[in-house]
Amino acid sequence: MSVKTIENNHLYWDGCDTVALAQKYGTPLYVLSENAILQRTQELHRDFLAKYDNVRVAFASKAFNTVAMCQLIAREGLSLDVVSGGELYTAMKAGFPGEHIEFNGNNKSQAELEMAVAYGVGRIIVDGLTEVERLAEICRRLQKTAKILFRITPEITVDTHDFISTGQKDSKFGIPLNPEILFPQIEAAIALPEIEFYGLHFHIGSQLSDNSTHLAAAKVALSLVNEIKERYDFTIKELNYGGGFGVEYVEGDVRQPYGYFLEPLMALTEAYCGEHGLLRPNIVIEPGRSLVAEAGISLHTIGEIKTLPGLRTYAAIDGGMTDNIRPGLYQADYTGLVANKAAAKRTESVTISGKACESTDILMKDLPVPPLSAGDIFVTFTTGAYGYSMASNYNKLPIPAVVLVKDGQDQLIVARQSYEQMIQNERFLEEWR
């Protein structure tokens, strides 16, 4: 069921009038539908968690990491993936249980690893050649142990933008498959008493709508499980198949149901383990975008409208690349509409530009819209993932507020950043103090 409805020419999101939300909280504003998130978590429960034994879902919180979101994920019975001390700190403040947190990241600092070990994070996904040794030293000092997986680079090229492709051979992510690099890491992990070597992890890329590359990567991981068994008589307990499941940004994008990826992945895993006499490892996935992207919209107010005769009309919004960097960063496509003219005929065509001082700050080109005027509320769809979490203060624009809506009720989960907060860490020149 869609959370998007139109009443009295206004766009409603999960029962809330978006024009009223813009008036109440100001713009730019992120609006997140709780029901839309729950539709996805329920699908995961039905088609994965309840269907197979020993499986887990860890929400990749980089997509949208706030205290309230961590609490929602805990309430819905999922684990949480974090990639930095900041994301971990947010989870800790939310009271997220340490044993259900997984810590990824290709260059974890000493302080971050210490924080994770001290908090008792459930899995550390090792993605650096010095990490196991550093982790073991921290564990000895803190008298703890750490459960680890190695993120491998499965050498799979995926069908997505190069900038969100991560599993190819030439990648900054993962431990290379080269046996001279990989196996010494595995031997160290098996030998170190402070390290509980649990398994292998891959994440091949993002915004994928074809399951063949996940399957190809899983075959690489499974053959390593077998090789590790044969070489070391060591049983891998867990495989993490990452995230990357695509969503619908614009017409033509395909959002596959989770089962489209997970059913064949589970069948492949069970068949491979059966054939090779292996215990089927726990299977973990790490969806980020697919849980929150479509639940979120952004609201902006239209300001200047400029028509260049014979060329195009620009309509400028009161945000842009600072609250949605993806179009500027890798030409990501979005669509939108005018919230206060939601049912009106779209007789004109405009290019939606942001207010940042960069020519690349263009959100949508040649979008059909009704006749526009300053003060209209513009909605961008599918901004729930990698919008707020990638927001910046470029041009000293404050980070927008985030409102969670459900069944016509709204609650503020992130307050708008103030000018004062933006400069709170800045210091006067000595002669001015």
Q: Which residues are catalytic?
A: 357
Residue with the two structure tokens 């049983």 = 235
Please classify residue 256 by burial: count the beta carbons closer than 10 Å to its beta carbon, then call 0-12 exposed, 13-18 middle and 19+ buried.
Answer: middle
Determine whether the annotation assigns residue 155 to a binding site. no
Does 243 bind ligand PLP (CB under 6 A)? Our answer is: yes
Phi, psi (deg, nearest 5) at residue 31: -125, 125
Determine whether the annotation assigns residue 320 to a binding site. no
Nearer to ligand PLP, 151 or 300 (CB): 151
Does 244 bind ligand PLP (CB under 6 A)? Our answer is: yes
Structure tokens, 234: 């060591």
Closest listed residue to residue 295, CA positions, set 56, 48, 59? 59
Does 203 bind ligand PLP (CB under 6 A)? Our answer is: yes
Q: How far apart are CA 206 and CA 64, in angstroms?
A: 15
Determine whether the annotation assigns residue 319 to a binding site. no
Among 27, 65, 79, 104, binds ligand PLP (CB under 6 A): 104
Determine the size of the site formed for ligand PLP (CB under 6 A): 16
Determine whether the annotation assigns residue 330 to a binding site. yes
Does 199 bind ligand PLP (CB under 6 A)? Our answer is: no
346 and 306 in contact (C-beta within 8 Å)?
A: no
> Min. distance of Cβ 204 from ligand PLP in angstroms?
9
> How many angstroms from the chain centroid is the CA of residue 357?
27
Chain positions 288 to 347 lying near ligand PLP, rule: CB under 6 A, are: 288-290
Nearer to ligand PLP, 332 or 350 (CB): 332
Among 33, 61, 90, 206, binds ligand PLP (CB under 6 A): 206
> Min. distance of Cβ 59 from ligand PLP in angstroms?
9
Determine whether the annotation assigns residue 287 to a binding site. yes
Q: How far apart are CA 221 and CA 232, in angstroms?
A: 16
Closest listed residue to residue 352, CA positions, set 301, 418, 405? 301
Residue 274, CA distances (Å) to 16, 23, 55, 222, 247 in order: 51, 59, 17, 12, 33
What residues have CB less than 8 Å from 44, skipping those under 6 apart? 57, 78, 258, 287
Nearer to ligand PLP, 96 or 245 (CB): 245
Determine whether the annotation assigns residue 289 to a binding site. yes
Q: How far apart are CA 200 and CA 174, in angstroms?
A: 10
DSSP-derived letter for residue 281 is P
Residue with the two structure tokens 């969503």 = 247
Determine whether the annotation assigns residue 286 to a binding site. yes
> Min. distance of Cβ 127 from ligand PLP in angstroms?
8
Stretch that binds ligand PLP, among 58-66, 188-196, 356-364, 393-401 (CB under 6 A): 58-66
Stretch that binds ligand PLP, among 32-40, 70-78, 243-251, 343-351 (CB under 6 A): 243-251
Does 281 bind ligand PLP (CB under 6 A)? Our answer is: no
Annotated binding site: 244, 286-289, 326, 330, 358, 386
Annotated binding site for pyridoxal 5'-phosphate: 244, 286-289, 386
Q: Which residues of this protein are in contact with ligand PLP, per CB under 6 A? A: 60, 62-63, 81, 104, 203, 206, 242-245, 286-290
Annotated binding site for substrate: 289, 326, 330, 358, 386
